[in-house]
Amino acid sequence: DDAIIVVNKPAGLIVHPARSHKSGTLVNALAWRFKHVSGGELSKVGEEFARPGIVHRLDKHTSGAIVSAKNDTAHWRLGKQFEMRRTDKRYLALVHGSPEKDVETIDLPLGKHPSVKEKYAVRFDETGKASLTIARVRERYLAPGGERYALVELELKTGRTHQIRVHLSYLGLPIVGDDMYGGKHTTERMLGGDADTMLLARQALHATTLGIRHPMTEQPMSFTAPVAADVRRAVELLRASTRAAGLEPRVDAPGTTIDAASAGL
The residues assigned a catalytic role are: 59
Which has the closest alpha carbon to 93: 42, 168, 197? 168
Rounded to whole angstroms, the Cα distance separating 92 from 242 reads: 19
Q: How far from the centroid of its chain's Cα atoms is residue 54's Cα?
A: 16
Count of CB atoms within 10 A of residue 220's CB?
Answer: 10
Where does residue 83 rank: exposed (0-12), middle (13-18), buried (19+ CB within 10 A)?
Answer: exposed
Q: Where are the alpha helices (DSSP H) in 44-152?
A: 72-83
DSSP-derived letter for residue 176 is T
Where does residue 218 rank: exposed (0-12), middle (13-18), buried (19+ CB within 10 A)?
Answer: exposed
Contact partners, residue 109, CB within 8 Å, separation at least 6:
122, 123, 124, 128, 129, 130, 131
6 residue type, one letter: V
DSSP-derived letter for residue 40 is -
29 residue type, one letter: A
Which has the closest alpha carbon to 53: 101, 5, 91? 5
Q: Where are the alpha helices (DSSP H) in the chain?
A: 26-33, 72-83, 163-170, 229-244
